[in-house]
């Protein structure tokens, strides 16, 4: 039985090229700042995952159905409406950090912020640290984004 291909896989598009192509100047500057912050915190080189996600590190997941694959550990996507940040909401300490972060929203597997100026940079750094550590060191028998 063939496994379904994970729809979001690493690509060889240069991250700097992707960020340079972002039209919105604040979103582009925030993307460049997130790139530097996540690179420093994780010690990983960034990779493009799919057309619009910048990821640092990866983890392996396995669904109960038997489907498995790899996903980015932490990362971000500078979307038109907001910055989407991935992998920052799963660590045990995430809830208390999010309470101190500043203006944000959370979705199923994402943290959304309008602009970096809306949040506390030190709390964001702690969230990235905790998220990267959690995503890369815990067994993800089931995908953390799945119920």
Please report, in tens digits, the pLDDT of each residue of the chain (147 residues total).
444 445 678 999 999 999 999 999 999 999 999 999 999 999 999 999 999 999 999 988 887 888 888 889 999 999 988 999 999 999 999 999 999 999 999 987 899 999 999 999 999 999 999 999 999 987 665 555 543
Instruction: Give the domain range for residue 45.
Output: 12-137
Rg (CA), the chain: 15
Q: In which element (H, E) is residue 100 found? A: helix 94-101
Q: How far apart are CA 113 and CA 62, in angstroms?
A: 29
**Residue in the block written with tokens 């291909």:** 5
Q: For residue 64, what pLDDT is reported?
A: 83
pTM: 0.87
Residue 4 placed within a domain: no
Q: For residue 3, what pLDDT is reported?
A: 44
Q: For residue 147, what pLDDT is reported?
A: 35
Residue 71 placed within a domain: yes
Residue 144 placed within a domain: no
CA distances from 16 to 36, 52, 60, 78, 101 (A): 11, 12, 26, 13, 27
Identify how many contiguous H helices and E strands the chain contains and give both numbers. Answer: 4, 7
The structural domain count of the chain equals 1
**Domain at 111, CATH number:** 3.90.1150.200
């Amino acid at each position: 039985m063939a496994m379904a291909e994970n729809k979001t896989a690493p690509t060889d598009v240069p991250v700097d090229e992707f960020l340079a192509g972002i039209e919105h100047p604040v979103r582009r500057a925030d993307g460049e700042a997130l790139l530097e912050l996540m690179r420093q915190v994780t010690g990983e080189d960034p990779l493009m995952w799919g057309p619009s996600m910048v990821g640092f590190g990866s983890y392996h997941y396995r669904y109960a159905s038997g489907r498995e694959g790899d996903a980015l550990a932490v990362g971000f996507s500078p979307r038109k409406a907001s910055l989407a940040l991935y992998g920052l909401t799963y660590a045990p300490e995430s809830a208390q950090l999010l309470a101190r972060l500043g203006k944000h929203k959370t979705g199923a597997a994402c943290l959304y912020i309008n602009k970096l100026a809306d949040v506390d940079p030190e709390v964001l750094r702690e969230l990235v640290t905790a998220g990267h550590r959690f995503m890369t060191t815990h067994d993800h028998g089931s995908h953390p984004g799945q119920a």
